[in-house]
A and B are shown apart, each in its own frame.
Chain A
Amino acid sequence: AQRVTQPEKLLSVFKGAPVELKCNYSYSGSPELFWYVQYSRQRLQLLLRHISRESIKGFTADLNKGETSFHLKKPFAQEEDSAMYYCALSGGLTGGGNKLTFGTGTQLKVEL
């Protein structure tokens, strides 16, 4: 069974402080991991995926298979980063299709 755990419902940080949104997963195969973000009054959208190894809006995430984690990090939080962040997992190439298992989400609030 696939499972994604985001332990924090709300994370509040000050502007300029580092941010780490935690995500742990459970999957027996080789997963593909994603971070999706939903800004206020906007649609849910892809932020980044582990397979691309990219940095988007200053955010990075490294897949740690040993710890089954995919934490999202940013060294300096900006006010515009305030949003709901969802970690998601798919079964990858063997899983087939566009079935994502989402975590329950973490609301990030960046305070001035």
Chain B
Amino acid sequence: KAGVTQTPRYLIKTRGQQVTLSCSPISGHRSVSWYQQTPGQGLQFLFEYFSETQRNKGNFPGRFSGRQFSNSRSEMNVSTLELGDSALYLCASSFRDRVTGELFFGEGSRLTVL
């Protein structure tokens, strides 16, 4: 079974630009969550989608948005990039509806904002 796939793996942007990251969950998984990982703040929850609906949202500004498609693939978008958005963005998928299930993480998309 293929794992969670995130693209692109690495990208460099400049301040003010926008970026779109993609996540393909494990086949059959309907929940997709996004996390931001930085050395200073650690892993922070961005949002979660389940069956194309945003179910939870973390404390991030509106510049951070996401969506999920009918095939469970998800994208997140960051507009008007700031230097502080440089981070590893992790996607995780889960089959189960609740967190008693296991989250399967991708390798992440490393974003550098110059």
User: What is A's interface to B at a CB cutoff of 8 Å?
Assistant: 32, 34, 36, 43-46, 49, 51, 86, 90-93, 95-105
Is there contact, CB below 8 Å, between B43 and A99? no
- Give the contacting residue for A97; candidates B35, B43, B50, B102; CB below 8 A: B50
5 tightest Cβ-Cβ pairs between the two chains A and B? A90-B99, A102-B43, A44-B105, A97-B56, A99-B56
Report Cα–Cα, A56/B87, bound state, in Å. Answer: 31
B78 to chain A, nearest CB (A): 19
Is there contact, CB below 8 Å, between A43 and B105? yes
Known contacts A43-B3, A44-B105; decide if A99 and B45 are in contact (CB<8 Å): yes
A31 to chain B, nearest CB (A): 10
Main secondary structure of the interface of B (DSSP, over half): strand
**Which of A91, A93, A102 gathers the greatest number of chain B CB atoms within 10 Å?**
A102
Is there contact, CB below 8 Å, between B42 and A98? no
- Give the contacting residue for A98; candidates B3, B43, B94, B107; CB below 8 A: B94
Given the complex, which residues of B lie within 8 Å of A96, measured CB to CB?
A: 55-56, 98
User: What is B's interface to A at a CB cutoff of 8 Å?
Assistant: 3-4, 31, 33, 35, 42-45, 48, 50, 55-56, 58, 90, 92, 94, 98-107
Report Cα–Cα, A91/B100, bound state, in Å. Answer: 10
Report Cα–Cα, A43/B104, bound state, in Å. Answer: 9
Main secondary structure of the interface of A (DSSP, over half): mixed
Q: Which A residue's beta carbon lies closest to that of B101?
A: A98
Q: Which B residue's beta carbon lies closest to that of A4?
A: B42
Q: Which B residue's beta carbon lies closest to that of A103?
A: B42
Report Cα–Cα, A96/B4, bound state, in Å. Answer: 22
Is there contact, CB below 8 Å, between B103 and A100? yes
A88 to chain B, nearest CB (A): 8
Is there contact, CB below 8 Å, between B107 and A32? no
Is there contact, CB below 8 Å, between A44 and B90? yes
A76 to chain B, nearest CB (A): 26
Given the complex, which residues of B lie within 8 Å of A103, measured CB to CB?
A: 42
Is there contact, CB below 8 Å, between A98 and B33? yes
